[in-house]
Structure 1
Amino acid sequence: MKLKTNVTKLVGKVIVPGDKSISHRSIMLGAMAYGTTVVNNFLLAEDCLETVILFKTLGADIEVDSETATVTINGGGLQSLTQPNEDLYVGNSGTTMRLGLGVLSGVPFMTRFKGDESLSKRPMERVMAPLREMMAITFSEKGGDTPPIIMLGTSRLRGRTHKMTVASAQVKSAILLAGLSATGETVVEELEQTRNHTEQMIQQFGGELTVSDKTIRLIGPQVLTGTTVVVPGDISSAAYFIAAGVLVKDSEITLPNIGLNPTRTGILNVLESMGAQYKIKNKTEGSEPRGTIKVCSSDLKATTIEGNIIPTLIDELPIIALLATQADGKTIIKDAAELKVKETNRIDLTAEELNKMGAKVTPTEDGLIIEGPTPLKAAKVSSHGDHRLGMMLSVAALLVKDGDVELENVDSIRVSYPSFIEDLTNLVESK
């Protein structure tokens, strides 16, 4: 697909779809709960719909209204789920597989998880190992670390203390979801605080847990009750419009109803350190705060991104790398080895694709070194099947002055934001 290039101005408002992480978890917890759960502003993208399909395959009563982005789950509790007559295929959704393994560790039947070619290369032992410690039986069918994954759950799950070896919200969440049906105390000790939507939502569904610094404690088994979930706009998706507004001269973009959970707003801290101009208005408080972000074009300076901020912006690092190509000086990103096990090896591929466009990006073992500012040029680039890379390259194309940028595998963007290209183009057309 040929992307929009040679753009002089971006102006307008974008209604960013619902948060991907919260949308996934609302289905899982709604299916585990008793009673009716209504999810408003659900993300109707491929990854989240894979979670809907998975739980419908397990017998959950779920209705999706595509017109209003509303999902209704009539929950009968975890034990109402039934053994499927088919494999649980989850497409490209690592969240669906990893968190789904946690949920199904507490039901006494066998399931087989499969994914697409990309997901079939992603590590799952990090989730399976702690679930085995809790007495579930789970293993890779290939005898290694990757799908297909067999899960034989049990009604005798036992709580355990888990010291995390990676800073991963997915691993933490799988353990906590298992802990809801386990007997005794489940404890998760994090390396760094990761996004805390699972903890927040367990409490929203009537569950009980305690959080002290980086330690989460939950005593099971617990009974959840259906509730109403209002999903805020996804800040990870909003980050790509924020970057576009900062990078394209004379631009001004408004993004209403964006989730501002402190475990997700590292991108805003990085923008401040780089000198970007933005404002937050109409902020609401609560477990999942939200607000309107208004951003305009800015001159950027290089920065260093490392340490405990990394888990709060792990999905935004590709777009931060693009920002760095236009910043004055050398930007260093480190402590981000988790990027290597996302939908792709985002460290190497972010460098590879931006360098095709004339950037100066050097991959390291745990991050990137980016020299700027550098003009970007026309090139043929690829998302490699990774939605975040595809979104980043679509924004990068806006900065190319001459020639065409052709993006291969553009359909990967549908995983999290089906209308992204259209929404980005509308900002150009409204100039």
Structure 2
Amino acid sequence: MLKKNNFRIGIFWEQFEWGGVDTHLKNLLEHWNNDKDKIIIYHNNNNKGAWRLKKQLKNKVKNLYFHEFNSLFSNRKNYFNFLLEPIKFFFSVQKYQEFLKKDNLDFIICENGGYPASYGVCAALLSSFKINIPVRIFRIHHSVSKQKIIKKPFLYYLDKTLAKASSCIMFGSYANKNSVKKYSSLLNDRNTSSKVIYYCVPNYRKKNLKKIFKKEKKIKLLGILGRIEEYKGHEDLIEAFSKLPDSIKNKNKIIIIGTGKEVFIKKLKKLIQTLNLEKNIIFTGFLEHNIENVICSLDLVVMATRNYEGFGYTVAEAMSVGTPVLASNVGAIKELLSKRDGRLFTPKNSEDLLKNLIDFNKNYSDWKKRARVAKTNINKKFDAKKIAKQFREYLISEFKKTNF
């Protein structure tokens, strides 16, 4: 019989920018249902998401500690990475054992953006297995990335080794799990345990929301949020917007919220200039405001991702705020959004996007009705407190299977 009530939980997290994993950790830890658990977040010292998370969770979560380490990996492209990464991986396995074993952890959750994604996170999982941490969760948040043929032998080794090292491979959506199952051999062994636990979505109360954008009367603000990258579909939204009739175009503005590589931002600005849309499109950069206040300031949230979303936190947050959503039909979005509570369009199809933008302007009241339904549905299915509790209870159930 398990007598232990409080646990020592490690979260291993290696990344170089900010993104959806930051949001996942913030919402999970803010709703954690046992403040006597000791939680240690191990992160690389150039992890921008961790810097932000420290500020967001300061004085909000008890017994939360951050442990910085120097990673051997970086996000710089190198022609010799196919040779260097395996070497760095094996050195990291040894290196991480040295500090992980000092904390006598009951659980470790290795947070990986995709797969194989961070080789550092993969190394930490193997380190945890070697030092006998009782429960080892390998959490994958995004799709399997395409790799060069020359890397295949090492990736095959990773699949077999990490499947064995994991107590459970965990996903944030069924689309996420299916991607890993389809494009890797990580789940091929019947003995490999896997689990889908959705992400925590806070229930944003209207009385607590505060609009941050000032706008002219009768002007609608269409927001696209997150990392500014090619696959996120900013170009598709801009092209669709350029085709709107002037009577609608002059009553709408696009707000591009977030940061990205300067090269791609310049490319977008050149496209905007070519289409003569400088007065209609605003870049805000990264905003320090709470995400719910950013979203409630918008009349429509557009998620135009071209290929895949492992969950779609922006869509979920917009639904919880009560802001209408227009999203591309990719990845896990259908697990969040249906025709009853929002609108889906064909990815990379600016004509389909255009039709929906016109409908949004002509039938705005219908879109607001759907948004109210969406708020009810998202808060019921993705209740943050319930999911955080489910997450912890699952860890405990795995702990009971061990001999510790």
Q: Shorter-chain TM-score: which interval?
A: 0.3 to 0.5
Query: Which of structures 1 and 2 has the larger relative contact order (alpha carbons within 8 angstroms, sep 6+)?
Result: 1
Higher helix share: 2
Which structure is higher in strand share? 1
Query: Normalized against structure 2, the TM-score is what?
Result: 0.34
